[in-house]
Amino acid sequence: MVFPESLTGIGLSAFSGCRGIIGKIIFPEKIEKISDNTFSNTGIEELEIKEGVVSVGSGAFENCKNLRKVVIADSVTFLDSRAFQACESLREIALPISTRYSTSETGNSPTFTDVQVNKIIFTRGTGETFRPYYDFNSITQS
């Protein structure tokens, strides 16, 4: 699924539960935020978030059981809680080293809960480096 470059936003839960959405999703550069639950429970397999997007909302891609690969542009500075929770097929993630995560009171980041990743690539990103030990505590590597 490729969105037109003129698109500037996608509403809250816009495609949530649409299992017919499969394949790769590419976001245009004019979208600044991917809203909460936008693509949760869909059949997407690959995701490319391009430059221009700065944040990914809570549960945006939660429970996308077929999602295997995620590439996040250096412009993304924040991933909210549960953004990729229960994406059980997720094996490869590329994201900026400067990205911040929503954390709970205990200091755990639920952004990537219940995923099993083979490869994590940290890109340069923008701003300061932020990589505390708990960002990926719920990821297991196979």
pLDDT in tens, 23-36: 999 988 889 999 99
Which pLDDT does position 142 carry in this prediction? 45
The yes-or-no verdict on residue 118 having pLDDT over 60 is: yes
Which pLDDT does position 18 carry in this prediction? 95
Which pLDDT does position 141 carry in this prediction? 47
Q: Which amino acid is at 36?
A: D
DSSP 112: G
Pick the closest to residue 68 from 49, 93, 94 (CA basis): 93
The yes-or-no verdict on residue 104 having pLDDT over 60 is: no
Q: How confident is the model at residue 87 (pLDDT cuts 50, 70, 90)?
A: very high
The yes-or-no verdict on residue 137 having pLDDT over 80 is: no
The yes-or-no verdict on residue 37 having pLDDT over 70 is: yes
3-state secondary structure of 134: helix
Question: What's the average model confidence in pLDDT over 45-52?
Answer: 93
Which pLDDT does position 109 carry in this prediction? 53
